[in-house]
Amino acid sequence: MPHTESRYDSAFHDELTRPGAAGLPDRFFDRFVFNLHPTDATSPSVIFGFGMYPAKDTVDGFVVVSDETEQRNLRYSTLLSTTDGSGGGPFSFNVASPNRTWQLRLGPNPGNVEFDLTWEARTPAWFGEVSVDNAGADSTAFDHLFQSGRYTGTLTIDGVTRSVDGWYGQRDRSRGVRTMAGGQGLHIWYQAQFADLSIGFLLVETRDHNRLLLEGAVMHVDGRLDPIVDVGHDLEFDESRDLRRGKVKVVTASGVEYVVGADASAGGGHMAGAGYGGHHGAQLGADHVEFDSYPLDGSVNPATLDSALTDRLCTFDLNGHRGSGIFEFALTRSRSYSYLPTM
């Protein structure tokens, strides 16, 4: 049966590990990712994240901003021992109320993007533990949470400030040891936002089209959680393995089916610009900041970057109701793999 109780004040420990914590595994990480976007448009898309890696005495983070023509990528890193655990580089955060309210600020930086935001939960959080045995590598075991919310505050790009009051934002929290080593064919992290609910799941399939991992829930704004027990997909990728459009069918523990269409043509969200090509946790010393940008003219795509992972801001359709949110996807670069629909 689905969970029906409110889980805003859940047992998930929302605050990050404090600097100096002892007894942690060498590969331990503690991090979060937020996104920010209008409820009724596909631009701009803002994705930002922060992580700490105690064994490496490192914290790092990123900000990725996509509009109709360009993706801006800001990355920063510093020594964990030089921080108080509330940020790094131009970014700072405060967990004002665990699982309910976060305050997030980005100061001046080479990307000319700044923000001063308060994120408030609009649904309960789904959370659990991901555990996967990896051939020839350490086991993956980490706590995982995602949750939908709305923002108040301001976003400033190239000196122009706008209000983001009411914009959607999904967050993802994870901590533990993650070593997902090889063999993956399809990866989806899906966060479709509608006025009364959020559909969120993580799906991973092997190159042989077997399911490796499925977790998630339909999170209702009235406080109900309905765990997801099955997902089917019929997606259209172009020659560069970039998603263009498609449908997913979600089945919940209570027996409800949701068939959701997605338009992924907006472009941007290439997470190589956020350091997802194996760069997180790299020891770069104190006060390291770097910036670059990608033109969104097709010359930069999942086939040209060091990571195919893409967080695409999409418009969604659920029985005629319009929504928006992030459809994160990646296909393996192995040419022996061909995408196979499951619905």
What would the DSSP string read from start to end of 222-234?
TS-EEEEEEEEEE
Asked if residue 170 belongs to a domain, the reply is yes
User: Dihedrals φ, ψ of 55, to 5°?
Assistant: -65, -25
Domain presence at residue 327: yes
User: Quick one: residue 136, left, alpha or beta (phi over 0 = left, psi -120 to 50 = alpha)?
Assistant: left
pLDDT of residue 128: 81
Provide the CB-side half-sphere exposure for 331 (13 A, CA): 22
Domains identified in the chain, total number: 1
pLDDT value at position 4? 33
Whole-model pTM?
0.93
pLDDT at 49: 98
Alpha carbon 48 to its chain's center = 9
Q: Are strands 45-53 and 58-66 parallel, antiparallel or unpaired?
A: antiparallel
The pLDDT score that the predictor gives to residue 25 is 86
Closest-CA residue to 103 (of 59, 176, 51, 154)? 154
> For position 27, what pLDDT does the model report?
87
Domain interval for residue 122: 28-331
Q: Which amino acid is at 170?
A: Q
Whole-angstrom Cα distance, residue 268 to residue 311?
A: 8
The pLDDT, as a whole number, for residue 131 is 57
Q: What is the pLDDT of residue 129?
A: 74
**Domain CATH number, residue 59:** 2.40.370.10
Residue 7: C-alpha distances to residues 1, 169, 221 (Å): 16, 18, 11
- Rounded CA-CA distance 149/236 in Å is 29
- What type of residue sits at position 265? S
Taking the C-alpha atoms of residue 226 and residue 234, their distance in angstroms, rounded to an integer, is 23
340 in a domain, yes or no?
A: no
For residue 4, tell me if it sits in a domain: no
Coil, helix or strand at residue 112: coil
Which of 218, 213, 193 has its CA nearest to residue 203? Answer: 213
Residue 275 belongs to a domain? yes
Residue with the two structure tokens 């706590």: 143
pLDDT tens, the chain, 343 aa long: 233 333 455 678 999 998 888 888 888 999 999 999 999 888 999 999 999 999 999 999 999 999 999 999 999 999 999 999 999 999 999 999 999 999 999 999 999 999 999 999 999 999 987 655 544 555 556 788 999 999 999 999 999 999 999 999 999 999 998 765 567 899 999 999 999 999 999 999 999 999 999 999 999 999 999 999 999 999 999 999 999 999 999 999 999 999 999 999 999 999 999 999 999 999 999 999 999 999 999 999 999 999 999 999 999 999 999 999 999 999 999 888 999 999 9
For 298, the token pair is 């097709």
pLDDT for 119 equals: 98
35 vs 104: CA distance, rounded Å: 12
With beta carbons less than 8 A apart as the criterion, state whether 310 and 243 touch: yes
Is there a domain that residue 241 lies in?
A: yes
The DSSP call for residue 144 is E
Neighbouring CB atoms inside 10 A of 53's CB total 22
Angle subtended at Cα 174 by Cα 168 and Cα 180, rounded to the nearest 5 degrees: 115
Give me the residues paired with residue 78 across strands: 59
Dihedral pair phi/psi, residue 273, rounded to 5°: -65, -15
* Whole-number pLDDT of residue 6: 39
